[in-house]
Amino acid sequence: MKPVLNIAAYLFVTLEQLGDLRQAMLNACNAHNLKGTVLLAHEGINLFLAGEEQAVRSYLEWLRADARFQPIEVKESWSDSQPFGRMLVKIKNEIIRMNHPTIAPENGRANFIAAKKLRDWLDRGTDDFGRPVVMVDTRNAFEVEYGTFKNALHFNIQKFTEFPDAIAAHKEELENKTLVSFCTGGIRCEKSGLYMREIGLEHSYQLEGGILKYFEEVGSAHYDGSCFVFDDREALEPTLDSIAKEQSIRNKPQ
């Protein structure tokens, strides 16, 4: 077992008094000797943290003791060394920026599909009703270069705020197909899935837990390459091991 536990998690939940919460989060992370980034906004929390296993699990116990965060689900992976250089807790307008304030996942999630069920669909090429399945990559262009689902649709976007216009431009050709949007850990798809339904793409789903959960439960089936992650590991293979540096496509962007 590698010595450093890495966790990624998010939760859409109404948060108030963000300044006080930021300080409490920072104190708790420092007390457990964790490093990484926690984003806080009125719409929820998004975190990427790493540290010694017992310290990480103790921190999660502390976090879930707050009723607001009790439902938070965590994706885990392991590394030989600490992938973060420091501990940051930031207050943002959105934990994932889309610039569509009507999209509020806390009020009702998009339809989602579990990793193993998605593999069944991709094995057949159709959903349970015989509709063709199209994978929709919501990530930025440089992330797609590291790897993506086979034959996935992507729009060469540079930031997530470009996704709504990009998918809307393809609405007519996609409206009779089953769409499964995906991203690294699922947070972008909480909003993209709702947006696709809002514009009339009714047969749309999000991949529960994103690529990382798919790797954890399924592995590499129907996926080519690795998955970019926003820490010093750079990218993860379907085994959830970090990619060898000499295999890297490019240096991690600043």
The residues carrying an active-site annotation are 183
* Span between the terminal Cα atoms of the chain, in Å: 30
Measured in whole angstroms, the distance separating CA 110 from the mean position of its chain's CA atoms is: 14
Residue 159 tokens read as 């930031």
The C-alpha atoms of residue 83 and residue 213 are separated, in whole angstroms, by 19
Pairing of the two strands 147-149 and 227-228: unpaired
The C-alpha atoms of residue 78 and residue 95 are separated, in whole angstroms, by 24
CB 26, CB 47: distance < 8 Å:
no
- Calculated CA dihedral for residues 77, 79, 82, 88, nearest 10 degrees: -20
CB 179, CB 149: distance < 8 Å:
no
Residue type, 175: E
Question: Which H helix or E strand runs over 53?
Answer: helix 53-64
* Per-residue exposure over 199-230, b if at least 16 CB sit within 10 Å of its own CB, e if not: eebebbbbbbbbbbbbbbebeeebbebbbbbb
Residue 118 tokens read as 């998605």
Question: Which H helix or E strand runs over 56?
Answer: helix 53-64
CB 136, CB 195: distance < 8 Å:
no
